Chains A and B, each alone.
Chain A
């Protein structure tokens, strides 16, 4: 169970998980409403190396922008 001072990542963290505990897939976008990942990206996350995870984070930034534009 969570608190900022006791978060999951150790001090010298690898690329952290984008999960913010919303965990609801959006049928229209195909992305999680919270972290904006696809099912495939969530399921494969623990297998990815750091560079692949960073690539996912970049895609999430783009999706966030896209979602804001559609919402606005």
Chain B
């Protein structure tokens, strides 16, 4: 995957797993649009990266594919630095206006996000003109019920958010609460296959062109999760804890457990999938699994992030 696979008006700012990638689209010599803005604790670096990549242009618009903390955490800082208008999907627009952290996913996951105000709603079926390209706004339910994806038919570029990565996709959150998500993800993967993208810009990881292989892996992953809601739950619990470890780098077991007890998802997963376990034990066993896979390590009572 080299620079030649994307037009000059599309600049991917690849980050890691705590911050999503950002896609900077040069609208003309004077202004640009950014898709997704990373995590709040990385906002300073995000602003610096964007300033560098803007090359003197104005950042006119911020667009969020979905309102997870790793995709909209830089909104406030970028808006402050550049005065951009913020466009969000319709699903939680009201919650954003009230900054209702319970309805938004931040309190539920125990993650943080700087407050911002949205200026406009971007709806599935509309067309976003950015980077001198027309992007069809697709509904991309599965990982998040309100997520969007962006499809440019002329260059066959798909901005897939967390619906499709080179090797997997984001946690199917609705299923954790007994709501449908696997079927939506299945249908979405089929839709993506039908579009036949030439290149996919995922929410995390490098842009990729072997789309068939990625879709194949995603289908196998979905098969594995869909046949075992318990597997989906265990996976979600690990992902949510790993996310916090990436942010904090290290934390005492006690502080982690206390923090998670105040969130929505970990207690829910405990109640629904391991009701016989005390919450402390549920967290400890999940951490054991992270340690076993090399994602974390224990040093006495402290949990330390491990990079792979």
Contact = CB atoms under 8 A, between A and B. Distances in A.
Judge: A and B partners, yes or no. Answer: yes
Interface of A: 1-11, 14, 16-17, 19-25, 32, 39-40, 42-43, 45-50
A47 B17 CA distance: 20
Contact of B14 (A5, A11, A46): A46
Given A20-B16, A24-B44, A10 B204 contact: no
A39 B52 contact: yes
A44 B58 CA distance: 19
Interface of B: 1-3, 6, 11-19, 38-39, 41-42, 44-46, 48-49, 52-53, 70, 162, 165-168, 170-171, 202, 204-208, 210, 213-214, 217, 221, 235, 238-240, 242-243, 246, 249, 293-295, 307-308
The 4 lowest CB-CB distance pairs between A and B, nearest first, are A8-B205, A2-B17, A21-B16, A19-B16
A47 B217 CA distance: 26
Contacts of B240: 1
Contact of B45 (A3, A25, A47, A48): A25
Contacts of A48: 2-3
Nearest to A5: B293
Nearest to B171: A1
Given A45-B14, A46-B11, A9 B294 contact: no
B13 A10 contact: no
Contacts of A25: 44-45, 48
Contacts of A47: 2-3, 11
